[in-house]
Amino acid sequence: MSEAEYLTVQEALTAVLAGVSVLPAERVPLLDGLGRVLAEKVVAQDSLPPFANSSMDGYALIAADLDGASKQNPAKLRVVGDVAAGAVPDVTVERGTAVRIMTGAPIPSGADAVVPVEDTNEAWRNRERPLPEQIQVTRSVKSGDYIRHPGEDIEAGQTILEQGHILRPQEVGVLASLGVSEISVICRPRVATLATGDELLEIDEPLRPGKIRNSNGYTQAAQILALGAVPVQLGIAGDTETAVRQKLQAGLEANVDLFISSAGVSVGAYDVVKAVLEQEGNVGFWRVRMRPGKPLAYGTYHDIPYLGLPGNPVSAMVSFERFARAAIRKMAGHTQLDRPTVTVTVQNEIHSDGRESYIRAIVTSNGSGYQARLTGDQGSHIMTSLVKANALLIVPEGVKHVPAGDQLTAWMIDWPEAVF
């Protein structure tokens, strides 16, 4: 396609996002919806609570019977029955009587309040304990006290979750309480990862002269998994057009929604990815004014979106964070695409070359604000400074020097927006 152009990070991101769309929906068992985006609204079929029940272990009674009751002057009530959680009461509470009741058990007819066991002379929470004939109650209650009313939380017919809502554990719990065992959510993106380079060995191969193990393929698969998407590892393609073509073909056969490759997109003599994509795809090669991570390829391969990231491990991971992550989240139906950011005070001075820079750092809070310390060598091959980091400090484009004590925006790589 075109000659490499220089783009800002924002321009590159806008272009990448324009090329991907939200995937279709599928019906899945409730738990498989965790972290995913609802494709349709959910209307409650039942009310919650479904029936009036007790919020305490105690005695169901008529509040008026306790008027004036106190420790000195307890009210005496005849106990006429016992109702456990899950049972259906078969007695009616009349004036001067009470029914022992467990938390969550239905309120028997006639009763309009519950008094907790602690406020009686029968302060035992033991179902096995024989039912007393009479109790003494040492306080008064108001009508309705300690009763959970039907529909207090959710009314049948109410829209409980809107389309686009992200399912977290609490949404899963609400849906379970409403008997929703299957839900319609946006499909998980299937994302192919391809590592290119004659120098690459498989993870379990011993090192040989001139060779390194393929780490990018694993970093990327892990990043894809962490997003709740499905990695399809295409493995390693050597620096020949045939090898690259063959692996990409395997990706097509695996029905992937997005291709991500690492390396082979710069201007090196062996960068064959470019050659293959120029023949069989519609891919542009850009230089992004970003550090690390200058080269970026984006377009389609046989109509499937394609993102070619740089080869250096840190560049690959940071480019994924910045571009691939947003694309995958968009495909999965999310609208919040970037990591959360916070403003930090930097504790080290930082030099940059004027490109928008992503500096590996550890961000901590002292209670009144966030501080950031750099985690060491910022070379694009130094993975350990990324291992020590929980954030990337963004030095804006055009800034070449940040003195210690200045403030920067930190991109929090360990903070999810919501569950993945």
Return residues touching ligand AMP (CB under 6 A). Answer: 195, 197, 199-200, 212, 214-217, 262-264, 266, 268, 310-313
Distance of alpha carbon 115 from alpha carbon 400, whole angstroms: 70
Whose Cβ is closer to ligand AMP: residue 99's or residue 296's? 296
| Secondary structure of residue 23 in the 3-state scheme | coil
Instruction: Kindly state the smallest distance separating residue 201's Cβ from ligand AMP, in Å.
Output: 9
Instruction: Kindly state the smallest distance separating residue 241's Cβ from Mg ion, in Å.
Output: 14
Among 56, 62, 66, 263, indicate the residue that binds Mg ion (CB under 5 A): 263
Distance of alpha carbon 224 from alpha carbon 217, whole angstroms: 11
Distance of alpha carbon 321 from alpha carbon 13, whole angstroms: 11
Choose the one of ligand AMP, Mg ion, none that binds residue 312, judging by a C-beta under 5 to 8 angstroms depending on kind. ligand AMP
Q: Is the dihedral of CA 201, 207, 212, 218 positive or negative?
A: positive
Instruction: Kindly state the smallest distance separating residue 199's Cβ from Mg ion, in Å.
Output: 7
Whose Cβ is closer to ligand AMP: residue 219's or residue 357's? 219
**Cβ-closest position to Mg ion:** 197
| Secondary structure of residue 240 in the 3-state scheme | coil
Whose Cβ is closer to ligand AMP: residue 264's or residue 305's? 264
Whose Cβ is closer to ligand AMP: residue 146's or residue 259's? 259
Whose Cβ is closer to ligand AMP: residue 77's or residue 195's? 195
User: Got the DSSP string for 341-380?
Assistant: EEEEEESS-EE--SSEEEEEEEEEE-SS-EEEEE-S---T
| Secondary structure of residue 247 in the 3-state scheme | helix
Going by C-alpha positions, the residue among 54, 80, 83, 63 that lies closest to residue 137 is 63
Q: Is 308 in the site for Mg ion (CB under 5 A)?
A: no
Q: Which residue has the tokens 């191969």?
A: 205
First to last CA, the chain: 35
| Secondary structure of residue 10 in the 3-state scheme | helix
Among 197, 251, 295, 310, indicate the residue that binds Mg ion (CB under 5 A): 197
Choose the one of Mg ion, ligand AMP, none that binds residue 117, judging by a C-beta under 5 to 8 angstroms depending on kind. none
Residues that bind Mg ion (CB under 5 A): 197, 263
